[in-house]
């Protein structure tokens, strides 16, 4: 597969960039164009990403040797893999694959500066996004199904991954954004250790479905600067139906969010509007309230600070196998989205990322 890196650096768009996460480059009017205009991707310009005066969480662990130790600890988990709540217990070192279809061979789909993420992650030069192949949740409506379900990607070494991180830093990205990282968390931590030795100083964004084991998150304590989890479902029956039997999703994800918040706290941008640390939650509003939006918002308001960052996402559209299920086989309505926003405001949440009216012009 052609790397998106060169396309993005040349100002072109790749398929993933226009599909994943409601990419704002794809004509989505919610984009803050000011963030992109004037963005010049030049090599070795660390002043643009602010890395010159920022120390990421993992640096101290790298210097003490703890980062490598944590990477090896996660690596050992793959012998009877329990990296995610599937807890397959397969021996990935022996080439066995669990539910996620990943052996211990790292596979990466693409990497590039991404301009479709949240504005405080995108800044002027983009979020340094690395898309990992395979997924342990595997939703039937996945917008990124070629990568998550069909396994499109290429084998890479840990050294390759470290080099990718350094390349993204060199062109001015504001962070290293690891997308669907859980099943490759050992590789990511070991690559971070190598990259830190070579000068990586960007914050790490752990861009996850939210369905994470607290035991594994504790190993990541002091490594991840920004947690970017989904909170997809309030109802385990919905999670089971649309995410391959993951009925524990609400219970597990709530515990994971509490642990993430304990580690990194409320997300607040720096004086330049760039996020360096904190918890940023995403909730995708789905048709017919499949995602249980009111319950999700209510839980966040009751269990996390009111200024917790919450991106209420409107970009759901039927993808992959969604057409097989009537209740999710359409976009959401303007009314469904506005109800979600009103609910969040009524609950007292003050740090909302809300998408604009023109989104509805194509409905
Ligand atoms: S990471 Fe993959 S192999 Fe490991 S427990 Fe999860 S689904 Fe199973």
The answer, yes or no, to whether any atom of ligand 1 lies below 6 A from the CB of 213, is no
Which residues fall within 8 angstroms of residue 349, CB to CB, at 6 or more apart?
A: 297, 300, 301, 306, 307, 308, 310
C-alpha 262 – ligand 1 centre gap (Å) = 25
Long-range CB pairs of 53-57 (<8 Å, 24+ gap) are: 54/201, 54/202, 54/203, 54/276, 55/201, 56/196, 56/200, 56/201, 56/202, 56/203, 56/204, 56/225, 57/203, 57/204, 57/222, 57/223, 57/224, 57/225, 57/277
Reported as a single tens digit per residue, the pLDDT across 101-134 is 999 999 999 999 999 999 999 999 999 999 999 9
Q: What is the mean pLDDT of the chain?
A: 87
Q: Does the pLDDT at position 31 exceed 50?
A: no
Q: 34-38, 212-216, 342-346, 355-359: lowest mean pLDDT where?
A: 34-38
Which atom, in ligand 1's list, is nearest to the CA of 183? 1
- The residues pairing with 283 across neighbouring beta strands, listed in sequence order, are 312
Task: Give the residue from 111, 106, 84 showing the smallest Cα distance to 93.
Answer: 106
Q: Is the CB of 93 under 6 A from ligand 1?
A: no
For a substitution probing ligand 1, which of 74, 80, 82, 186 has the most ligand atoms within 8 Å of its CB?
Answer: 82
DSSP-derived letter for residue 27 is S
- Among the residue ranges 7-21, 94-108, 314-328, the one predicted with the least confidence is 7-21
Residue of 76, 88, 134 to test ligand 1 pocket, by largest number of atoms within 8 Å of CB: 88
Atom of ligand 1 nearest to the CA of 136: 7
- Nearest atom within ligand 1 for CA of residue 89: 5
User: In the chain, pLDDT over 90 holds for what percent of residues?
Assistant: 83
**pLDDT tens digit string along 321-341?**
999 999 999 999 999 999 999
Q: Which domains does the chain have, with CATH numbers?
A: 56-358 (3.20.20.70)
The pLDDT score that the predictor gives to residue 53 is 76
Ligand 1 neighbour 186 (Cβ under 6 A): no
207 CA → ligand 1 middle, Å: 17
Q: What is the distance in A from the centroid of ligand 1 to the CA of 102?
A: 8
Q: What is the pLDDT of residue 356?
A: 62
What is the number of the ligand 1 atom nearest to the C-alpha of 84?
Answer: 6
**Res 49: pLDDT:** 56
* Ligand 1 binding pocket mutation candidate from 75, 85, 87, 149 (most atoms within 8 A of CB): 87
- Determine the Cα–Cα distance for residues 149 and 144; give it in Å rounded to an integer: 8
> In the predicted model, is pLDDT for residue 59 greater than 50?
yes
- Pocket lining: 49 vs ligand 1, CB cutoff 6 Å: no
Does the pLDDT at position 147 exceed 90? yes
What's the CA-to-centroid distance between 187 and ligand 1, angstroms? 14
Helix intervals (H) in the chain = 4-9, 15-19, 33-36, 46-49, 58-64, 66-77, 119-122, 145-148, 158-170, 185-197, 214-219, 236-242, 249-264, 293-303, 334-346
pLDDT tens-digit series, residues 171-209: 999 999 999 999 999 999 999 999 999 999 999 999 999
Check pLDDT > 60 for residue 255: yes
């Amino acid at each position: 597969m052609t790397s998106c890196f060169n396309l993005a650096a040349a100002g072109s768009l790749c398929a993933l960039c226009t599909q994943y996460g409601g990419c704002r480059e794809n004509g989505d009017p919610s984009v803050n164009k000011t963030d992109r205009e004037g963005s010049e991707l030049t090599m070795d310009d660390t002043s643009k990403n602010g890395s010159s005066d920022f120390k990421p969480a993992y640096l101290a662990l790298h210097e003490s040797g703890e980062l490598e130790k944590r990477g090896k600890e996660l690596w050992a988990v793959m012998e009877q893999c329990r990296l995610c709540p599937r807890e397959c217990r397969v021996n990935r070192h022996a080439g066995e694959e669990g539910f996620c279809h990943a052996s211990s061979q790292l596979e990466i789909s693409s990497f590039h500066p991404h301009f479709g993420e949240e504005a405080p992650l995108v800044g002027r030069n983009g979020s340094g996004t690395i898309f990992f192949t395979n997924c342990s949740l595997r939703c039937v409506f996945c917008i990124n199904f070629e990568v998550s379900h069909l396994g499109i990607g290429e084998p890479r070494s840990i050294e390759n991954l470290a080099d990718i991180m350094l390349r993204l830093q060199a062109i001015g990205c504001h962070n290293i954004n690891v997308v669907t990282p859980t099943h490759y968390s050992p590789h990511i931590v070991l690559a971070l250790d190598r990259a830190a030795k070579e000068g990586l100083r960007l914050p790490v964004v752990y861009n996850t479905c939210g369905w994470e084991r607290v035991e594994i998150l504790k190993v990541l304590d002091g490594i991840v600067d920004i947690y970017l989890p989904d909170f997809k479902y309030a109802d385990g029956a919905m999670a089971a139906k649309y995410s391959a039997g993951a009925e524990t999703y609400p219970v597990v994800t709530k515990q994971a969010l509490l642990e993430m918040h304990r580690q990194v706290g409320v997300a607040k941008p720096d004086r330049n509007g760039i996020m360096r640390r904190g918890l940023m939650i995403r909730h995708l509003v789905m048709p017919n309230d499949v995602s249980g939006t009111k319950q999700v918002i209510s839980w966040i308001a009751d269990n996390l600070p009111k200024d917790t960052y919450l991106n209420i996402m409107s970009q759901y559209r039927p993808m992959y196998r969604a057409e097989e299920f009537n209740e999710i086989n359409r976009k959401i309505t303007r009314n469904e989205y506005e109800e979600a926003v009103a609910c969040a405001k009524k609950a007292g949440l003050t740090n909302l990322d809300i998408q604009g009216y023109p989104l509805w012009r194509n409905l």
